[in-house]
C-alpha cells in the first residue's frame, strides 16, 4: 500500500482518515459495504487539483472501486461534479496505459465513486445529490455524460444512523463541533482548540490520535481556520465595496472596476489584520497574492 504524499498541507480530515482502518470504517458506513479492516487499499490522492494550498480530499482504490472522499468545512460548492470530473480524468490518465486505448479490446477501469462530507455552519440537508447535468446549458432527459456526488451533512443533529455506524467519523465530527462551539462563545481560536482537545481526550473522543499529535492538530486547524476566514471575508468585503462603487457610477464597466478595486482593498485590509495576528509573511503572501515588499509597508 502506498502512502499519501505530504508536499502540500493536509487538513485534519485528510491526516486523520489517511489511517487505513479509519478510512475503511468510514467508507463501509457510507456505502453499506462490509470490507474487513485488513482490506488492502492504495492511495491515489492528487495534490493541488481541487484545492490550491490545502488537501481536503482522499482518493484511494479498494478492490475494483476508485473512491474520492472530500470534506467541506465552510462552504457548499455546487460545482463539485465538474471539479470531480476533472479530478477523475487526471487519475485515469495516470493509471490507464495509453497504448491499449487504441486497441479493439475494452480497457477496464476502476468504478468511480464520489463522497462529500459537509460540516460547515450553514444549514444543509442530511443528504443531497449534486449532478453534473445540473450545470449543462441545455438539459436533456438522458445526458451523454453524468457525474453524481452525494453530500452528507455530518454536523450535530444530522445523519445520526450514519455516524453511529462509524466511530471514527462520529469522533471527528464531534471534535470539529466542539472547537466551533467554543469559538462561537467568544473563546479565541487557540484556547478553543486546546479546550476541545482536552475534553476529547478526557472523554475518549479521538483520544489516541489527539494524545499523539495534538500539536500538529492545533497547527492544522489554525491554518485551515485562517485560510477559510480570509477567503470568506475577502469575498464579502470585495463584493460590498466593489458593488458600491460600481453602482454609484451606474455603468457595467464601472461595476467591474469597482469589484476589482474592492477586492484589492479587501486584500490589503485582511493582510494587515493577518500581520497583526502574527501570521507568517509567506502564508499571507500565498493567500493574498500580495508581494513581500508591499507587506513590509503595511
For residues 145 and 246, state if they share a domain: no
Same domain, 270 and 130: no
Q: Domain for residue 125, yes or no?
A: yes
Identify whether residues 194 and 144 lie together within a single domain: no
3 pLDDT exceeds 50?
no
Same domain assignment for residues 130 and 214:
no
- Kindly report the average pLDDT of the chain as a whole number: 80
pLDDT above 90 covers a percentage of the chain that reads 38
Band (pLDDT 50/70/90 cuts) for residue 224 is: confident
Q: Convert the chain into a string of H (helix), E (strand) and C (coil).
A: CCCCCCCCEECHHHHHHCCHHHHHHHHHHHHCCCCCCCCCEEECCCCCCCCCCEECEEEEEECCEEEEEEEECCCCCCCHHHHHHHHHHHHHHHHCCCHHHHCCCCCCCCEEEEEEEECCCCCCCCEEEEEHHHHCCCCCCCCCCCCEEEEEECCCCCCHHHHHHCHHHHHHHHHHHHHHHHHHCCCCHHHHHHHHHHHHHHCCCCHHHHHHHHHHHHHHHHHHHHHHHHHHHHHHHHHHHHHHHHHHHCCHHHHHHHHHHHHHHHHHHHHHHHHHCCCCHHHHHHHHCCCHHHHHHC
Q: Which residue in the block uniquely carries the three cell numbers 487504441?
A: 102
Higher-scoring residue by pLDDT: 10, 174:
174
**Cell 494524545 found at:** 211
Total number of domains in the chain:
2
Better-scored residue on pLDDT, 183 or 7: 183
Q: Which residue has the higher pLDDT, 70 or 190?
A: 190
Shared domain for 141 and 249, answered yes or no, is no
| Residue 298 placed within a domain | no
The whole-number pLDDT of residue 259 equals: 47
Q: Residue 283 domain-assigned?
A: no
**150 and 49 housed in the same domain:** yes
Res 236: pLDDT: 54
Whether 23 and 130 map to the same domain: the answer is yes
Residue 280: pLDDT above 80? Answer: no
The per-residue pLDDT for 266 is 63
What's the pLDDT tens digit per position in 12-66? 888 899 999 999 999 999 999 999 999 999 888 876 555 444 557 888 989 878 8
- Using 50, 70 and 90 to split pLDDT, how confident is the model at 227? low
Domain contains 2? no
Looking at 165, 199, 217, the residue that finishes a domain is 165
What is the extent of the structural domain holding 69? Answer: 9-165
- Is 175 contained in some domain? no
pLDDT interval class at 194 (50, 70, 90):
very high
Same domain, 146 and 40: yes
Q: Is residue 171 part of a domain?
A: no
The pLDDT tens digits for 129-167 are 999 999 999 988 889 999 999 999 999 899 999 999 999
Residues 46 and 159 in one domain: yes
296 in a domain, yes or no? no
Q: Does 247 lie in the same domain as 129?
A: no
| pLDDT tens digits along 105-136 | 999 888 899 999 998 888 899 999 999 999 99
Residues 104 and 222 in one domain: no
268 located within any domain: yes
Instruction: Mark whether 117 and 31 lie in a shared domain.
Output: yes
Confidence of residue 235 (pLDDT cuts 50, 70, 90): low
Residue 9: CB atoms within 10 A of its CB come to 17
pLDDT tens per residue, range 237-273: 555 555 545 444 544 454 445 445 555 666 677 777 7
Q: Look at residues 165, 199, 229 and tell me which one is the last residue of a structural domain.
A: 165
Amino acid at each position: 500500500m502506498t502512502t499519501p504524499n505530504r508536499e502540500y498541507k493536509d487538513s485534519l480530515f485528510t491526516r486523520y482518515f489517511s489511517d487505513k482502518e479509519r478510512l475503511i470504517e468510514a467508507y463501509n458506513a457510507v456505502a453499506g459495504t462490509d470490507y474487513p479492516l485488513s482490506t488492502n487499499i492504495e492511495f491515489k490522492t492528487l495534490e493541488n487539483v481541487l484545492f490550491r494550498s490545502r488537501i481536503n480530499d482522499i482518493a484511494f482504490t479498494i478492490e475494483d472501486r476508485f473512491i474520492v472522499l472530500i470534506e467541506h468545512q465552510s462552504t457548499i460548492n455546487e460545482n463539485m461534479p465538474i471539479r470531480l470530473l476533472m479530478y477523475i480524468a487526471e487519475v485515469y490518465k495516470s493509471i490507464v496505459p495509453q497504448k491499449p486505448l487504441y486497441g479493439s479490446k475494452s480497457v477496464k477501469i476502476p468504478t468511480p465513486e464520489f463522497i462529500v462530507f459537509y460540516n460547515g455552519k450553514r444549514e444543509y440537508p442530511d443528504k443531497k445529490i449534486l449532478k453534473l447535468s445540473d450545470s449543462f446549458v441545455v438539459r436533456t432527459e438522458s445526458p451523454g455524460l453524468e457525474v453524481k456526488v452525494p453530500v452528507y451533512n455530518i454536523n450535530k443533529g444530522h445523519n445520526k444512523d450514519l455516524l453511529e455506524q462509524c466511530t471514527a467519523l462520529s469522533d471527528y465530527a464531534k471534535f470539529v463541533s466542539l472547537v466551533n462551539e467554543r469559538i462561537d462563545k467568544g473563546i479565541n481560536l487557540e484556547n478553543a482548540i486546546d479546550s476541545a482537545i482536552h475534553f476529547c481526550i478526557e472523554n475518549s473522543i479521538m483520544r489516541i490520535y489527539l494524545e499523539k499529535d495534538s500539536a500538529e492538530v492545533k497547527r492544522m486547524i489554525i491554518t485551515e481556520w485562517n485560510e477559510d476566514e480570509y477567503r470568506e471575508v475577502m469575498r464579502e468585503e470585495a463584493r460590498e465595496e466593489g458593488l458600491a462603487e460600481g453602482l454609484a457610477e451606474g455603468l457595467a464597466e464601472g461595476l467591474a472596476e469597482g469589484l476589482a478595486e474592492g477586492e484589492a482593498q479587501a486584500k490589503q485590509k485582511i493582510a494587515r489584520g493577518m500581520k497583526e495576528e502574527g501570521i507568517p509573511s509567506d502564508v499571507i503572501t500565498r493567500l493574498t497574492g500580495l508581494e513581500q515588499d508591499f507587506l513590509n509597508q503595511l
